[in-house]
Amino acid sequence: MAYVAVKGGTKAIEASIERLKYERLKDKEVLDINGIFSGMRGLIDVVMSEASLYSKELASIAIKQSEGNAEEAVFLLRAYRSTLPRKHYTNVVDTKDMFVERRISASFKDILGGQILGASYDYTHRLIDFSIADESKEDARKWVEEFNKKISENKETKYDLRHLPKVLDYLRSQNLIEDCEENNEEPKDVTKESLQFPSTRDQRLQVLTRGQTGGVISLGYSSLRTSGLDDHPTVGELRVGNIPLYISDPIEEGSHEEDYYIGEIKVTEVENFMPTTVINDKGENERKFDIGYGICYGQNESKAIAMSILDQCLQRKNKKYPTGDEEFVLLSIDSVESTGFISHLKLPHYVTFQSKLDSARKIQEEKEGESCEK
């Protein structure tokens, strides 16, 4: 494909950038970073997940700079991420150690440790609350004080929210989970090595978790509508909470004698159950369950569920459906990849279009010549 570089447009480009800043400031109001940080939790979680960079502060700045344009904010964060030195890798995280804020199961009503509804829009009336238009900081302060007082009076719980059992373990104890070989190979880092096909599961999960939220959800929904799977998956457990991160001694590389706690990150984790038929040692058909897995930064439940569905689709590789084609799925959902390619259509394509135009004119002339001969 041929492109033509635009020359002599420096002044026009500078004027365009100036106009862009004008659009952000024309109402003579400046969006407060702390306001974004405190009041746009959902957008921040989406941007951090797609950018593969866990920093609420940086995500807030990117959102302000991009005027709330999520794809542009993700681009900014990914570009910044590429400049950062990779000093350490955290130790393997066990999500059983998550401090749970929200935990539900669509598979069982009664689960050990109980269902914890937490913070969710699932139980609200989807009606605009016009009262928040006049909400003041003083109103917020009073409400939070009352809420904290209520919490302190109801702290009793018989379960440790840091070590709640997994619903998955119950099915495993019943021998209803399809066994799979343990793989302890060092995972490949898709941010440092270009994705190659066929991909490994660790690569697929990385691309899915940083995939464009709307794209992941759309393809997950598509797989359910077009029977991309053999059966309907059921959410075994959805968790939202904070998981602790540790690094090994930076001096004694590989030594776990003294690990260092470096903080926590909030994630959404989903394990869905997908019925499957396996043949046992006696040659008989048995009904068991495969596991679809999804995890992403922040509270991003729809994406994590859709990710777990696509994980199953890509493991089964049913090429009859688009969601079974890993190249189609993994390249389509990448925010920067797909946005970049679509945006490149705005570049000057003068040479290629002139070629197409010449071809169309030539065919038209030939047809007119044939018509004159007749």
**What average pLDDT does the chain have?**
87
Average the pLDDT over 322-332 and give the result: 92
CA distances from 142 to 43, 119, 135, 147, 190 (A): 26, 19, 12, 9, 46
| Strand residue runs (E) in 201-324 | 234-247, 260-279, 285-297
Answer yes or no: is pLDDT of 212 > 90.
yes
pLDDT at 59: 97
pLDDT at 374: 62
Answer yes or no: is pLDDT of 30 > 80.
yes
pTM over 0.85: yes
Pick the range with the lowest mean pLDDT from 72-86, 146-160, 255-269, 319-333: 146-160
CA nearest neighbour of 291 among 302, 280, 307, 279: 307
Q: Note the residue count of the chain.
A: 374
DSSP 261: E
The alpha carbon of residue 281 and the mean position of all alpha carbons in its chain are separated, in whole angstroms, by: 39
Q: Please state, in angstroms and rounded to a whole number, the distance separating the CA atoms of residues 143 and 145.
A: 5
Please state, for a pLDDT cut of 90, what percent of the chain lies above it: 49
Q: Please state, in angstroms and rounded to a whole number, the distance separating the CA atoms of residues 235 and 103.
A: 11
What is the SS3 assignment for 174? coil
In contact, 220 and 306? CB cutoff 8 Å: yes
The confidence band for 204, taking pLDDT boundaries of 50, 70 and 90, is very high
Cross-strand pairs, 234: 273
The confidence band for 330, taking pLDDT boundaries of 50, 70 and 90, is very high
Which residue reads 């405190």 in tokens? 38
pLDDT at 175: 81
The confidence band for 210, taking pLDDT boundaries of 50, 70 and 90, is very high
Average the pLDDT over 180-188 and give the result: 81
The confidence band for 1, taking pLDDT boundaries of 50, 70 and 90, is very low
Beta-carbon contacts of residue 285 (< 8 Å; ≥ 6 apart) = 277, 278, 279
Question: What ranges do the domains of the chain cover?
Answer: 11-83, 95-120+158-180+189-338
Beta-carbon contacts of residue 237 (< 8 Å; ≥ 6 apart) = 103, 104, 105, 107, 111, 166, 167, 168, 269, 270, 271
Q: Which amino acid is at 57?
A: E
